[in-house]
Amino acid sequence: MLAVVLENPLYLQYAFAGCIVLAILTLPLKDIISVGFYDISDFFVTGMITFFITYGVLIAKPDLLSTMHFVGIFFVSMIAIMLMNILVILPFKGRAENSSITSIYQLEGKEGKISIPILLNQTGEVIVYTGFTRVNKMAKIYENDDGITTIPINENVLVMEVKDRVLYVLPYDNSIKTIAKPVATWNENKKKKIKKNRLRRK
């Protein structure tokens, strides 16, 4: 069967397209069907690369093509993909995850707005604005002595704590005491003098 496919450019194109489709369809199974640094999706990507190279060899020098050459190209491609996973993809993924974990804890003390209402012991969603970006995160009600059991949509909140990648929030007005703005006193003496002058004139 493989020999028949390798001898026909049209079959090679079909095999190449089939590997692309299977690689996409098996993406959800990457973490389930895998062996070390090589998973089911990588297998079909390897097949796609191998059929592509084989097609080029068949067009350029058909005399050099054989089943053993195909198997050799397949294993070389497989090793190349494994090395790319080990040296490039996994380290990049690890750095991205660490960055994500670090950034979520930086949301503590930030203001946000409820996008999905939060009920007691249930999870809602809060939108937190950080600079020019908007972050949507799961949120719960922070433990409090004020009897707050629900936070409605569009309510302004303050992120009190981040735990297990969930933001614990309280309504902004209930979590921070309003501090009165200081009244300017630099012109008080002037006001008193004006008031005294008016009384004297009377």
Domains defined for the chain, CATH in brackets = 2-104 (no CATH), 111-175 (2.40.50.140)
What pLDDT, in 10s, does the model give residues 6-42?
A: 778 898 899 999 999 999 999 888 878 888 788 999 9
What pLDDT, in 10s, does the model give residues 165-190?
A: 899 999 977 444 444 444 445 455 55
Of 83, 24, 84, nearest in space to 48 by CA: 24
- With contact defined as beta carbons under 8 Å apart, do 136 and 127 qualify? yes
Q: How far apart are CA 161 and CA 123, in angstroms?
A: 14
What pLDDT, in 10s, does the model give residues 97-132?
A: 555 555 788 888 888 999 999 998 889 999 988 766
Q: How far apart are CA 89 and CA 14, in angstroms?
A: 29
The tokens describing 80, both together, are: 């190349």
Of 120, 123, 127, nearest in space to 166 by CA: 123
Entry pTM = 0.51
